[in-house]
Structure 1
Amino acid sequence: MSRPDLNLLVTLDVLIAEGSVAKAARRLKLSPSAMSRALARLREVTGDPLLVRAGRGLVPTPRAIELGTDVGRLVKEAEAVLRPAERLDLKRLTRSFTLRNSDGFVENFGPSLLARVAEEAPGVQLRFVPKPDKDSAPMREGSVDLETGVIGGSTGPEVRAQALFRDRFVGVVRSGHPLCDGKITAARFAAGRHILISRRGLDRGPIDDALELAGLTRTIATVVGGFAEALALARGSDLKTIQAKPSACTGPAFLARSEGSGLLPGSARQNRNGRTRAEPDSHPASLR
């Protein structure tokens, strides 16, 4: 009995991940015709079509889905076995890393991160891409090398995570807002009209859950997808919003973003500029 071509495992892993012969060919740096021939060989070996046409695209068969998990694991284990044992020399490393980050990461951490990379690994390029959701699929598929943000329920067990810091929410209103005068209470915060930040377009968030526990609700006037949009709207109106302030962010970059008055139900206090601020329970931000 002839031994199987183990290179087909890599081909099958990429075909299942991409769901496209053309995309898989680009990822493996092969011609589309070569990838089509490889798919034909896989179909012959497995006795299954693996990918079938649905509309204008291809979808995996039940057998392909069944094979997907095992094939991905085998490919990663093979890569680990063949990885060089010598210590990595960062000075000589030439590679591009893709980082998937939430709104605010680049302006707060980008300069110091790039400076350290330039010093320790000058041949490394960092590519920052936006993070529209908490889905860990890009990590599993290998299109993203590193991701930062709050870990969601969809995070797969194969994704390694490490805690970096804890986010603290800071309320923001424009300078001179009526809320800046007098004692800040949960009821005063909840009153009026609010800006909700939701990348998925939801109509409530963790702040609403916290207010509900206190028997309060707030009126959402508008929903936006990011902190920068919310700040722009709050700066030019009487609307209130919430900004995430990582505990690690204490420099001018963050202070410039959060200029204005901030408050939340909780331990409100006056800062040196006379602005009221309160910080609620924090949320862990992680690197994975």
Structure 2
Amino acid sequence: MKTTTLRNLDLNLLHVFSVLMEEQSVSKAAERLFIGQPGLSGALRRLRNALGDELFVRAGRGLQPTARALAIAPEIAEALSSIERAVRTPDAFDPSKWRGEFRIGMCDNFEVAFFGALTARIRELAPHARVVAIASTKRDSVQLLEQGAYDLSVAVHENPASWHLCETLFDQRFVCLYDGRELDLPSPLSIEAYAQAQHIIVSSLGDDATELEHSLRAAGVTRTVVASVSRHASIAPLLLSVPAIATVPEITALCLAPLYGLEIADAPFELPTEPISMLYRRTDQMDGRSIWFRNTVKEIMSGTLNN
């Protein structure tokens, strides 16, 4: 007896079998399948050969399924239905009906700059959703993504793995932030005034081994650091008390300056920009929910930067 396996069975023949079971007529089945009757007869011949049974015999003007056909028909119908569900294009994501969390990894300066507007927009379009920001840095953003801590991260991503996707969002430049009531600086800011002033830095590790510091040294600029904070949000209150300069991302300065009455000045020397990108799992590339979330994040960030 011939043994039939998926390896030697054309799955299209199972679809032919299913239609023949429903129509029990070669002409009607051929019409539904958009093939000629000779083509359908050839498919039925191959199906009979593969399964080792007549499957359908003539009965008047129609076809009569054999006992073997009747026995396997329910399982074939269920299998075809499962395959169709698996390969079918997913329904469009409807944020208004979705209940769950949107989780984003970002450093605190992006929380200050974007998270409020992002939350408001998502709550407007997805009123049953919760928006969660997870603290991340370029040191741990990839690891946290792989651990499933969030759906995507916005940060500086260096050499992400090939199983992730990375979209560049913007180039982050740095500016000088200070309290003009505490510190009298020339306009435009000179290198001498910058070097002579006291400085506050942001360092998650509490040291001055930051890339910005390396860039300053490469430019031949030395400065006196009097305080180090772990979060950008702590910069503004400190500047109100200490006559110092903080060299921070421009988006941070633009958010904090009007709230605290601070001044912004361009750095008196060239500083490298940082490429800010969005990192997410390749497996989420075509997921409707992920696409909607990514597009919403890009919309909010673009709007904030342009304003």
Structure 2 CA distance for partners of 1:146 and 1:257, relative to 1, 3 Å: farther
Higher relative contact order (CA 8 A, sep 6+): 2
Offset, 1:171: 0.8
1:139 aligns with 2:130: no
Structure 2 CA distance for partners of 1:86 and 1:104, relative to 1, 3 Å: same
Paired position in structure 1 for 2:64: none
Of 148, 151, 154 in structure 1, the residue corresponding to residue 154 of structure 2 is: 148
The answer as to whether partners of 2:172 and 2:274 remain within 8 angstroms in 1 is: yes
| Rg larger for | 2
Paired position in structure 1 for 2:247: 242
Distance 1:282 1:132 in 2: 17
TM-score (normalizing by structure 1): 0.57
What SS does the corresponding residue of 1:240 show, helix, strand or coil? strand
What SS does the corresponding residue of 1:263 show, helix, strand or coil? strand
Offset, 1:212: 2.3
The answer as to whether partners of 1:171 and 1:242 remain within 8 angstroms in 2 is: yes
Distance 1:219 1:97 in 2: 42
Post-superposition CA distance 1:103-135 (Å, at most 9, x none)? 132332223222321233223211112225531
The answer as to whether partners of 1:196 and 1:204 remain within 8 angstroms in 2 is: no
1:211 aligns with 2:213: no
Runs of 4+ deviating beyond 4 Å: 81-84
Offset, 1:264: 4.5
Distance 2:235 2:113 in 1: 17
Distance 2:275 2:136 in 1: 17
1:174 aligns with 2:176: no
Of 260, 267, 285 in structure 1, the residue corresponding to residue 276 of structure 2 is: 285
**Structure 1 unmatched ranges of 5 or more:** 1-80, 268-278
The answer as to whether partners of 1:243 and 1:258 remain within 8 angstroms in 2 is: no
Of 89, 111, 122 in structure 1, the residue corresponding to residue 116 of structure 2 is: 111
Post-superposition CA distance 1:65-99 (Å, at most 9, x none)? xxxxxxxxxxxxxxxx6897333222222221221
Corresponding letter in the other structure for 1:191: Q
Paired position in structure 1 for 2:167: 162
The answer as to whether partners of 2:173 and 2:249 remain within 8 angstroms in 1 is: yes
Distance 1:227 1:130 in 2: 12
Paired position in structure 1 for 2:77: none
The structure whose residues are more often helix, as a share, is: 2
Q: Provide the aligned length of Structure 1 versus Structure 2.
A: 193
TM-score (normalizing by structure 2): 0.54
What SS does the corresponding residue of 1:176 show, helix, strand or coil? coil
Structure 2 CA distance for partners of 1:116 and 1:255, relative to 1, 3 Å: same
Paired position in structure 2 for 1:259: 261
- Measured on the aligned residues, the alpha-carbon RMSD in Å equals 2.9
